[in-house]
Each structure stands twice: as C-alpha cells, then as structure tokens.
Amino acid sequence: MSVQYNPTWRYSGNQLKRWRTKANVSREELGAASNYAPDTIKAMEQGVRMPTARVLDVADDLCGAEGLLSAGKEYVQREKFPPRVQDFMAREQESLSLWSYEVSLIPGLLQTESYARGLLGNRCPPVDEETVEGRVSARLERQSILTRKPPVAVSFVIYEAALIVPQVDKAQLVRLLEAGSLYNVSLQVLPFKRAMSSALAGPMVLLETRDHERLALSEGQSVSQLTSDPEVVTAQSERLSMIRTVALSPTESAQFIERMVDDL
C-alpha cells in the first residue's frame, strides 16, 4: 500500500529538517527535547506524520529559527479522516440522500461518543491518542447531517449481529431509537432469521449528491472504494433493496431495539 502524503505536513516537515540540519541538531537531540522518538521525528520530517506544535516550538528554539518554524503551527492541522475515506466524507456532506447497510458495526452517523472512542482507539496497528480524539470529534461532527437543513433523507439497515456485541450498551441502543424517530431518518433491523446470502457480503453506503450524482461506497478492513460507475451503483442499489425488503419495518425495528433495551 502506497503512503499518502499531506502536502502541508510534507512542507512543514521539510522545513523542520532543513532548520535542524542547518543548526547541526540531531534527530535524537530534537526527540529528547520534545519527548518524541527519533523515528517519530523522521516520520514528521518526511510528511508521514503531522509535525506537532510541541516539535515545531522546540525545534524553533533549538535551531534558532526566530519564530519561522513555530509559525507553521497555524497551517499544519491534523486531517479529520484517514486518506482512504476523505473523498467520501466530502461527498457525504453534500448529499441529498443516503442509504447505509452495516453488517457488524453501528453506522458512524449513529454512534455514541463512547462507542466511537472504543472502536477508533482499538485499531491494529494502534494509533496515537491525539489521532483517536481527533477522529472521534470528526465522527460526532458528521452526525449533524441527520438534523441539517435542508434535510437529508437517510436510511439505515443494521444486521442484528452489530447490535449484540458487548460494545453496544444501553446508551447506544437508545441513540438508535432517538435517531430512528427523526422524520427524515428510516432505521431497520435485519434479524438473523431473515438474512440471505447477499446480506452477508459486507457493508455498503449509497448516496446521491445535490448535483444528482449517484455514488457507492464499499468498505473493508483497510480498503475503501468510492465509485460512480453505473454498473456498480446499480448492483449495490439492487442488493440493498433486497435487504430492505426482508428487514423489519421501521416500527418493528424500534420495537426490536426497545426489547433489547429492556433486557439490559
């Protein structure tokens, strides 16, 4: 998998390396002064990781940059989303309608803060705490789409397996009920006994933008594919239509979830 660079990170990292080299300061020295490992300093200089405010301030002082490195803090910001889904997130915010099917997870637009933090903080390989907090915040910000004006028509179908894992607590179930009660949101549960083979083929999201462009997102553990290919969009639409047909109705789904809440 190729490394994806953020241009601002890369430029800032390049300047960090130039000033450090000019001042004859080693990565080990800068790392010790800023409490980062030398390999982390290297990753920042290469643009793989975001040069943090602490590193830029410490390097500015050590290298005699007279504020030129510290000034970069204003422009270097952590990306809210991983590179592989940034395009989809931008399209999501301009969507007119959105349909989602999840097999094993609560959809991001419906997650509580606790559920999102547990999910994002339990990655393999692990990510740093700053990244986790940034992504939790970004995920919660996305949820404003459910109450945005003009309203977005949103439909969710969730396979029962996603509801019965230990990470789904009472608060998360109540969150689903609250979202499902919104007039522009439809929420359906697909019980185990109603699942067909096509429902086990993985999650998907379909959306239509304000320009009436139709897109399909297919996700895996480390790969996401967003496409406007009519054949793919049509195939995913037909698959989702079949799943929605056999799933519980929104009213039945609310009752299903309410029984789960009562059992906790």
Are 128 and 109 in contact by the 8 Å Cβ rule? The answer is: no
CATH hierarchy code of domain 7-74: 1.10.260.40
Report d(CA 43, CA 46) in Å as an integer.
5
* Backbone Cα Rg of the chain: 22
pLDDT single digits (tens) 173-217 = 999 999 999 999 999 999 999 999 989 989 999 999 888 889 999
Say which amino acid occupies 161.
A
Report d(CA 152, CA 94) in Å as an integer.
9
Helix (H, G, I), strand (E, B) or coil at 107: coil
**What average pLDDT does range 98-109 have in this prediction?**
96
| Within this chain, domains 7-74 and 83-263 share the same CATH topology | no
Confidence of residue 84 (pLDDT cuts 50, 70, 90): low
The domain locations on the chain are 7-74, 83-263
**Tally of residues, the chain:** 264
Instruction: Please check the confidence at residue 126 and state whether its pLDDT lies above 90.
Output: no
pLDDT single digits (tens) 208-260 = 988 888 999 987 666 678 898 999 999 999 999 999 999 999 999 999 999 99
Instruction: Please check the confidence at residue 3 and state whether its pLDDT lies above 50.
Output: no
Q: Is the dihedral of CA 51, 56, 57, 58 positive or negative?
A: positive
Report d(CA 4, CA 84) in Å as an integer.
9
Token pair 């002082």 is found at 61
Read off the DSSP letter of residue 121: T
Instruction: Please check the confidence at residue 121 and state whether its pLDDT lies above 90.
Output: no
Instruction: Please check the confidence at residue 16 and state whether its pLDDT lies above 70.
Output: yes
pLDDT given for residue 49 in this prediction? 80
pLDDT given for residue 211 in this prediction? 83
CATH topology of domain 83-263: Endonuclease; Chain A (3.30.870)
State residue 118 phi and psi, 5-degree precision.
-65, -40
Instruction: Please check the confidence at residue 104 and state whether its pLDDT lies above 80.
Output: yes
Report d(CA 81, CA 89) in Å as an integer.
8
Other Cβ atoms less than 10 A from the Cβ of 43: the count is: 18
pLDDT single digits (tens) 46-60 = 987 888 888 999 999
